[in-house]
Amino acid sequence: MDLLLYVNSGGKVSVILLLLILLWTTLDMTKAELNTTKVPGNHQLSMQILDNNTYADQAPVDYYVSLRQRHKETFRYGSGHVCGGALISPNVVATAAHCFVDQTRYDGSFLPISRFLVVLGSQPRFVRDEQALSFSLEWLLMNLTKFDTSTYDKDIALIILNATVPYIMQPIQFSETAAQPEATCHIRGWNNSQMEYYLGEMIRLNVTLIDERACKGASNLIEKFLRPGMLCASNANKDQLDGCTVDAGEPLLCDGKLVGISSWGIRCGMPQIPGVYANVTHYRHWIDNTIASYQLKDPQNPKYGHSELMRSDEFEDVARSSGTKFERLYRTILYLGIMLSLCYF
């Protein structure tokens, strides 16, 4: 009874709640650190709040994919999200290669693909709905052996899932023609700006494709780092942010067909400064040949990065039982904060 009276005091409860909020915020900041996006040469992107966004309708979009890190997913459903992606066949996802770069080293080396999982059908990122499906990564196929962080060249990767998706989930179709300047396209994905991230809602942004000359003329950095296999798009409305507002790996669509994969940008959403995408049409021959080669793959071929398979239900067991040392430390601090607050008051 004394303890109940103790805690029911308004001022004391306020202090306790304040301590809990501070500890929770500290733990949740790990996601922001993980999702730090850089342009070639390790120039830091400046992020802005999206105040003129267009929220996507809530109808499921079958081909949109959330690439997540398993150990981050143990904290909260959806908190492990690091990149987007597009389902291009019943068991293949296209995304950005730099999503797999080890951010603690950032020397171009990749993390083991056993650390990742793919989630489809979960449009509000933090809501585990009945349609959500999770898959392990069986293979990761790239057009390189080590990522070039100085150029972001060949920033495209193919994920082979450990199972095929249900037939009701339809992959996105490729554009059969090269993307043309002045075409109005759109990109949909989960907003990564700091204020909007916590909502976890999918947004849609309209963008206009621009030619290589105009893209290079928009920024000295873009002129320096733009490579064959990249295309540019700027915000169609000057008061609306561009593709770098959403996560890397998100698909760029023109007339409902896949033409690009979100890669990098400079000063997110600034007028006249385009975002840069991997040009899917440029890589189409590589994509088709790589998938065909995978079907005839030699397990000893070092070109492919194989990981131990894990079923989705096994992941659920791991998610309940595992956690990083970092997360355990802050959980401990959280519990200690509660106990100290109660004892102090």
Question: Which residues are 158's β-sheet partners?
Answer: 94, 141
Which residues touch 261 (CB under 8 Å, ≥6 apart)?
86, 94, 95, 96, 155, 156, 249, 250, 251, 252, 277, 278, 280
- Structure-model confidence comparison of residues 33 and 133, the more confident one: 133
Tokens 């603690």 identify what position?
104
- Lowest mean pLDDT, pick from 140-154, 182-196, 293-307: 293-307
Looking at residue 139, its amino acid is W
The CATH superfamily assigned to 60-161 is: Trypsin-like serine proteases (2.40.10.10)
Quote the CA–CA distance of 100 and 112 in Å, as a whole number. Answer: 8
Residue 319 has pLDDT above 70, yes or no: no
pLDDT tens for each residue of 42-51: 333 322 223 3
pLDDT tens for each residue of 191-234: 655 444 445 577 788 889 999 999 999 888 888 989 999 999 98
pLDDT of residue 103: 81
Quote the CA–CA distance of 106 and 98 in Å, as a whole number. Answer: 10
- CA 193 remoteness from chain centre: 12
Residue 188 has pLDDT above 60, yes or no: yes
**Nearest by Cα to 84 from 166, 172, 191, 160:** 191
- Structure-model confidence comparison of residues 189 and 60, the more confident one: 189
pLDDT of residue 29: 43
Quote the CA–CA distance of 320 and 59 in Å, as a whole number. Answer: 30
- Calculate the alpha carbon distances from 111 to 10, 103, 106 in Å: 48, 9, 10
Residue 19 has pLDDT above 50, yes or no: yes
- CA 208 remoteness from chain centre: 22
Quote the CA–CA distance of 92 and 42 in Å, as a whole number. Answer: 30
Quote the CA–CA distance of 237 and 239 in Å, as a whole number. Answer: 5
**Nearest by Cα to 97 from 108, 81, 89:** 108
Looking at residue 259, its amino acid is V
Q: What is the total residue count of the chain?
A: 345
Phi, psi dihedrals of residue 116, rounded to the nearest 5°: -115, 160
Q: Which residues of 119-140 are buried (b: 16+ CB within 10 A; e: fewer)?
A: bbbbbebeeeeeebebbbbbbb
Mean pLDDT of the chain: 72
pTM more than 0.75: no
The CATH superfamily assigned to 183-281 is: Trypsin-like serine proteases (2.40.10.10)
* Percent of the chain residues topping a pLDDT of 90: 33
Quote the CA–CA distance of 172 and 156 in Å, as a whole number. Answer: 16
- H or E stretch at 64: strand 64-69
Question: Which residues are 94's β-sheet partners?
Answer: 86, 158
User: Sorting pLDDT into bands at 50, 70 and 90, what band is 297?
Assistant: low
User: Sorting pLDDT into bands at 50, 70 and 90, what band is 23?
Assistant: low
- Structure-model confidence comparison of residues 213 and 236, the more confident one: 213
- Mark residue 15 as left, alpha or beta (left: phi above 0; alpha: psi -120 to 50; beta: remaining): alpha
Instruction: Locate CATH 2.40.10.10 in the chain.
Output: 60-161, 183-281
